[in-house]
Structure formats: structure tokens, C-alpha cells
Structure 1
């Protein structure tokens, strides 16, 4: 795969990871799903695990794209940008994240 392909994969993984971590939170789950978080404790636990795994895979994709020193920098910037993108989505159109919710 080319460097660009790895970076696109890293971006997608970082965005989905941050969205899954946000959906694992009680407040954001209720905001997106319009039902109490207490109804889906196992789903939220699964989302937390998927979020962490996606961020780890994002780091690995960055490492495949470039040397370790640059990959770490790109990964940190991707996580920051993804967190901002998810936060803006939650404040503007939270229902867009419903597609990433499992339950």
C-alpha cells in the first residue's frame, strides 16, 4: 500500500475510534441514541474496547506510512483533529454518529 493509503486508513480509524469512545460515554450515548445509557451497558463497554483498538490500529497505520518519529507526530495530530471533529459533530448533528453505534 502507498503512504497515502496508510494515512487515509489511519484517519478513518482515528475518527471512528474517537467516535466510539465518545459513544461509550453516558451523556453522548443518550444524546445520539435518545435512550438512557443504562439500557446498553454491554454495548457501551464494547464501544470502549473498539475505540481503543481503532486508535491502536491508527498508530500502526501511521507507522506503516512513515518513520517512527514522524508517525508519532502524525498520530497525535490525527487524534487531536479527530477529537475536535467528533466534538463538533456531537454539538451540531449528533444523529450522524448513530451509524457507528452498535446497539
Structure 2
């Protein structure tokens, strides 16, 4: 059996990556992270799908780590922390999001 702490850390990582992909799907954040490189329309759709799947995976990992009522609470707290992490990254070091989409 996998340690619940490891599952929750993986859920946090998936949430951060998911919100990062969703942020990169927006033109403004794409330009912050990637510079003047154009963003093709298929990439936008792919980033949105990947971001949604990563957030769903984060929920799945939380549900695997704990019972449903606690898992949903933890997931919502992870979402808040992940979106804050991505927002602060975009404010101070947007180029760090380049690692999410080369």
C-alpha cells in the first residue's frame, strides 16, 4: 500500500502542474513564460485538456489517500495552494513555467 502522504504530495504536484498548464493556455501568461514565440491553437486546446486531466488526477489521488469527505476537503485546500503557487510564479518568475511546455 502506498503511503497517504506520498499520494497527497503527488496530488499537490498534479494540481500545480494542472494550473500551470491552464495558465499557459492563456495568451498573456504564454507570452510571460515563452516570450514572443507564437502559441498555436492546437497547443491551447491541448494545454486546457492536460490541465483539466491533471486536476482530475489530483482529485483521484486525494480520494485514494483518504476517505471521501476528508479527501475533498484536502483537495480544495490543495487547489487553493496550487493556484496561489502558480500566481506567485507568474508574478515573480514566469519563465519557470517554461519547464511545463518546452
| TM-score, normalising length: structure 2 | 0.94
Structure 1 spans left out of the alignment, 5+ residues: none
Q: Distance in 1 between matches of 2:62 and 2:54?
A: 12
Instruction: Please say if 1:45 is aligned against 2:45.
Output: yes
Q: Which runs of 4+ in 1 moved over 3 A?
A: none
Q: Distance in 1 between matches of 2:12 and 2:64?
A: 13
Q: Distance in 1 between matches of 2:89 and 2:41?
A: 23
Give the equivalent residue in structure 2 for 1:11.
12
What is the alpha-carbon root mean square deviation over aligned residues? 1.1
Residues matched between the structures, number: 101
Distance apart, 1:45 and its partner CA: 1.1
| TM-score, normalising length: structure 1 | 0.93
Distance apart, 1:8 and its partner CA: 1.0
Distance apart, 1:58 and its partner CA: 0.2
1:95 partner SS: helix
